[in-house]
Amino acid sequence: MKLLLLCVSATFCALYGCQPHVPHPTNQEAQMPVNHNSTKQIGWSVYGKLPAPQGTPASLGVSAAFTGIIGNYLLVAGGANFPAGHPFFDQATKAYYSDMWLFDTAASTLQTMQHLQLPYPVAHGALVQTEHSVLLVGGQNAQGALSSILEVSLVAGEPTIKLWGQLPFSWHSGAATWYQGELFLFGGERNGQPTAGVCRFDLETSQCQELEPIPGPARVQFPAEQLSDTFYLFGGIDPKGSENNFTRTDAWAFDMKTRTWSQLPDVTFEHQAFSVSGGAATVLNDHQILLLGGVNLELFNNTLTQFSQLQGEELAACKTRYFNLTTEEINFSRRQLVFNSRTNQWNALPDLVPFTGGAGPLTLARTEQHIYWIGGETKPGVRSPMVYRGVIAQP
C-alpha cells in the first residue's frame, strides 16, 4: 500500500509533506494588541517572487519550506521542487534546498535583507516559535529523514543558526508547537512510519514523553495551530486509509494543560465535507483560525483509491490522466475557511483568494496586519514562486 501511495508524490510531496505549525508573530507589528472582533475580509495582492536558490538559474518556487516571522523579518528556509522536470513523465527526482531568506516585513514588496545557508538541505519539517527564536524541527532531504533541530535567532540584529537539539527519532510531515518553554510534536512520520503519536520533547535527555495520541489513524500533512492553551488540528492524510477515505476531514483540540483531546465538528463548507489537507492554518484573532489551500476532497480520494487498486497498464494510464489534469481541474482550494473556537462552527470569508489555490504543502506566516502565502504546489509537480500578502481588514 505504501509504495502505491508514493506514486502521487508530486501531488503531495511524497504524500508525507508536513504542514509546519505557523508561529505566533513576534515582530514589532505583531506585538500590537490583537483585535478581538471577527475578521470580515482579507485583501490579497502579489507581494513578490521568491529568489532563485543558490546555484540555480531561476526560481521555480518551493513547497514545504520552513516559514515564519523572526524580528522584523519574514523567514523562508529550505523547501523542495522538481527542477529537472515532472516526477512521473520525466522521472525527475525531487531537489531539496538549504537557502534561508530573510525579507523585510516593513517593505511594500518582497525585499531581501539576508540570504544564508542552513547546514543541510531540508523540507517537510516544522517551524516553531519560542520566546526569543524559531526552531526548525526535523524534516527530510535526498539522504532521508532528519532528527536534528536547528535554532535561528537574532544576535544584535544579525541571524545566527545553530544546532538546538536532537530528536530520538527521525521526524517529518507532522505539526509542532511551543508551550510553556517546551516543544511538542504531533503526528507525522517517525523513523519511516506514519504515527498518531504526541511527543513532549525533553531537551536535557533528548527523549520524548509520549502523551495521549491523536484520536483516529496515523496522519500526515494536516494544518494545525495553537490558540492560547489549546492546539487545534484539522484533517490530514491517512497513508493507510481505506477506499475513498485517505483524506481526513475530522478536527480535534488538544488541551495543553490537561493534555487531553476533544473532538470538534468536521471540516465543512456549506454543510459538506471539505478538505484542507496540504493547506495551512494561521490565527486570525483570539477565537478564529483561518485555513487556506488544500486538495480537492473527491478528486484526491478517488485518485488514491485507484492508485491503490489498479496495476500494470491500467495504473500507468490512470497516472497519465491524473498528472495531465490542468490546474483548474486539480482544483486546489481557494476558499478562505474560518473555524470559530468560541462557537465550534465553520464559516468562510465571502471571497476566494484571487489566485490559484495551493497544496503540497503551501506555507503561511502571520504578522498583526498581514498574512503571507508562500509557494506550494499549484498542480502535481508544479510549484509556485509567488508570495502573496493579505491585508487583514477588521469590522
Residue 16 has pLDDT above 50, yes or no: no
Q: What's the rounded Cα separation, in Å, for the pair 90 and 84?
A: 8
Quote the pLDDT of residue 20: 36
Confidence of residue 9 (pLDDT cuts 50, 70, 90): very low
Which grid cell is 68? 515564519
Q: Each residue of 336-358: pLDDT tens digit?
A: 999 999 999 999 999 999 999 99
- Residue 11 banded pLDDT, cuts 50, 70, 90: very low
> What is the predicted pLDDT for the residue at 395?
62
pLDDT band at residue 218 using 50, 70 and 90 as cut-offs: very high
**Per-residue pLDDT at 262:** 98
pLDDT tens digits along 284-301:
999 999 999 999 999 999
CATH number for region 2-393: 2.120.10.80
Residue-averaged pLDDT of the chain = 90
pLDDT at position 39, please? 65
Mean pLDDT lowest among 7-11, 245-249, 358-362: 7-11
Question: Distance between CA 169 and CA 175 in Å, rounded?
Answer: 15
Spatial CA neighbour of 315 closest among 89, 2, 4, 3 = 4
Q: How confident is the model at residue 217 (pLDDT cuts 50, 70, 90)?
A: very high
Model confidence over 165-207: pLDDT tens digits?
999 999 999 999 999 999 999 999 999 999 999 999 999 999 9
pLDDT digits (tens, 9 = 90+) for 60-95: 999 999 999 999 999 999 999 999 999 999 999 999
- CA–CA separation, 140 vs 120, rounded Å? 10
Q: Which of 283, 291, 207 is nearest to 249 (CA)?
A: 291
- What pLDDT is stored for residue 253 in this prediction? 98
pTM of the prediction?
0.90
Give residue 17's pLDDT band: very low, low, confident or very high (50, 70, 90): very low
CB 68: neighbour CB atoms within 10 A? 28
Rounded Cα distance, 288 and 283, in Å: 6
- Nearest C-alpha neighbor of 171 from the set 148, 142, 200, 143: 148
Signed CA dihedral, 11, 14, 175, 196: sign only: positive
pLDDT of residue 248: 96
Are 147 and 168 within 8 A, CB to CB?
yes
Is pLDDT of 33 > 50?
no
How far is it, in rounded angstroms, from Cα 19 to Cα 97?
17
Of 77, 8, 9, the C-alpha closest to 305 is: 8
Q: State the SS3 of the chain.
A: CHHHHHHHHHHHCCCCCCCCCCCCCCCCCCCCCCCCCCCCEEEEEEEEECCCCCCCCCCCCCECCEEEEECCEEEEECCEECCCCCCCCCCCCCEECCEEEEEECCCCCCCEEEEEECCCCCECCEEEECCCCEEEECCEECCEECCEEEEEEEECCEEEEEEEEECCCCEECCEEEEECCEEEEECCEECCEECCCEEEEECCCCEEEEECCCCCCCCECCCEEEECCEEEEEEEECCCCCCCCCEEEEEEEEECCCCEEEEECCCEECCEECCCCCCEEEEEECCEEEEECCCCHHHHHHHHHHHHHCCHHHHHHHHHHHHCCCHHHHCCCCCEEEEECCCCEEEECCCCCCCCCCECCCEEEECCCEEEEECCEEECCEECCEEEEEEEECC
Q: Which residues contact 391 (CB under 8 A, 6 or more apart)?
A: 42, 43, 44, 45, 369, 370
